[in-house]
Structures are given as C-alpha cells and as structure tokens.
Amino acid sequence: MFMARNYEFFRDKAAFGWNFAFPFLIILGFGFIFGSREYQEFKVGVFPVQAGEEFLLESTIPPAFQNGKYLDFIAFGEFRGAEEKLRHQKIDILIDRNSPAHAYWINDSSPKGYIAEQLFLASFKENKNRAEKQVIQGLQVRYIDWLFPGILAMNMMFSALWGVGYVVVRYRKNGALKRLKATPLTALEYLSAQMFSRIFLLMFTLAVVWLGSNLIFHFQVLGSYTALAFVFFLGGLSLCSMGLVLAARGTSEEFTSGILNFITWPMMFLSEVWFSMEGAPNWLQNLAKIFPLTHLLTGARKIMNDGASLSEVSGECFIMTLVTVLCLLVASYLFSWNE
C-alpha cells in the first residue's frame, strides 16, 4: 500500500510539480513584500503629496528626522484619508510637509505614536523650532482586538475552502457523485446544500470560539453583534462559494490541495490577517482587494473597533454577496458529476 500510494502520487504530474512550485512561490511572495526594504518600525504619514512627487526633498521636515533609522515614510494626498489611518493606528504620526509651524498629529492612545513624536521633536536643534502638536482622539486598540477577527476569518477560510472544495473532489473520485447523478438532484441544488451545510458549521464554530476567547480577553465590540455576525455570515458564504468553483470538475485530491494552498496562503498574508498592509506597494494593496477575506476583515474590524453600522460596511457586504452569487453560478455551470 505504501508503494502503491507513492506510484499514484508520482504519476499525477500536476500534483508532483506543484509540490516544487508552491514553496518557491511563497518565498517569491515574501521577497516582494519584505525583501526590497530594510526593517522599519515606525510608520510616518506625510501629506499633501501628489502622485510621483518626491515629498521629502521639498518639505519642512527636518533632515535629521528624514534620515532617521526604522522610519517608514508613507505619502497621502489629503488629510482626511491620512487622519483615518492615524485613527486606526495604521500609521504612528502624521506630518504636514508644507507647514511652517511643523504641524503634526498623533493618536493619543497609540504607544508607538508617543515614541514617534519624541523622535520627531528630538530632530529639532533649537526649542524655538518646536513643532505644532495636534491630537486625534481615539480609543486604545489592543493588538489582540485587531488580530482576533483575522484569526476567526482565517479559520473560516481554511474550513470553507477545504471543507467544501476538497471534499467534493473526493466524492467525485470515489464515485459518490456518479450515483447522485441518477437522482432528480440538480447541480445547483447539490452545491447550494454543500455551501449552506458548511456555513452552518462555520457559524457554530465561530460562536463557540468567540465565547470561549471572550471569557479570557474581553474583546471590545463597539458596534452591533448582529451586524458583526452578518458580516461573518456573508464572508463565510463567499469563501465557500470559491471552494465550489474549485471542486466543480476536479478529480485529483493532490492537485486540488495544491490549488487550495495557492489561494489560501496569499489571502492569509495579503488580507491583513496578521499585520496591516499600510506602507506596502500600492499594487500589492490593490491586489489584496480582490480577495473576499480582505472585505470580511475590513467590515468586521470597522464594526468591532469603530462602532460602524451595517450601512457603513454595505460596500464590503455587497462585494462578498456578489462573489457568492457569481461563484455559485459559475460552479453550477461547470459542475460535472463524473469528471
């Protein structure tokens, strides 16, 4: 049996090749994100900046601060967008590059903002050139409060894609789907049943994990629990529907496993599960927006940490609903009971 299983794997050229290609793609992805710049600790927002403009050369920011180590300067076109990033602690300090008074803003609840402010003030040689301070009020957001939705969503992603995509392929391979073909069951009915069965398990798991973790960490939810549950529900549906597209015709469990990894790992790193993408290249941030996991986390964090209502995350809800409907229709059209 050991040798037979090895022969089966080696004869599946797609799966065999994928086991070499996937680690390379992971290393390549990390190289694009982290390999092009030195380690940077504090994120400094600078505004107003036009596209392609060298915003540090023609500015009132002291050269000593510009040349400081572990500082990542991020350009913003206007104050409003930059203020929102500062309020959510995606940047640590915000500086007006054209202000003669060296106006800057910090979030009074950010520990890193306080240290970035001290570095900025220390870059002035004389006290008379001290900068004009502005404070943006904000609630203290613990890292665990920011991270927790990401952990829940990541678990939902793996359970949805593997629990639907991989299992359906296994059913097709062992002949279970072939027997169902003789019944009046349509492809749309079968796939819908698979999707809703999985979302029931996902939401039940989500509730149990939430309740257990909340007893220890006491997470803050400024918005509605109903709205938060609805966002996770739509996110789970969209992820399940993606798994159905992958399972529409696949017959190789090994190759399906490779494709699922190809989808889940980029989502896990680009959808802000573990860390903010602020400061990453613009093309990488735009790429992250094609993933439903990104919109799930954006909506969930807005409700939890900003007290957003369901109407305020309607854009994210619309995208997740659209992904669900499109993927379900595509999967139904492509679905094969046999191969």
Does 35 score more than 60 pLDDT? no
CA distance 232 to 237: 9
Neighbours of 215 (CB within 10 A): 8
d(CA 40, CA 227): 36
Whether the pLDDT of residue 204 is over 80: the answer is yes
Average pLDDT, the chain: 78
Mean pLDDT of 185-199: 83
What's the predicted TM-score (pTM) here?
A: 0.63
What confidence tens digit (pLDDT) does each residue in 267-279 have?
877 877 777 777 6
List pLDDT tens digits, range 216-248. 777 778 888 899 999 999 998 998 888 888 877
Cβ contact 101:128 at 8 Å: no
How confident is the model over 290-313, as a mean pLDDT? 87
Check whether domain 42-136 has CATH 3.40.190, yes or no = yes
Mutual angle of helices 225-246 and 143-161, in 10-degree steps: 40
Where are the domains positioned within the chain?
Answer: 42-136, 143-334
- How far apart, in whole angstroms, are the C-alpha atoms of residue 300 and residue 294? 10
- What is the pLDDT, as a whole number, of residue 274? 76
Specify the amino acid at residue 111.
Answer: P
Q: 44: which strand partners?
A: 73, 93
Helix then strand count (H, E) for the chain reads 14, 5
Share of the chain above pLDDT 90, in %: 7
Q: What average pLDDT does range 94-122 have in this prediction?
A: 86
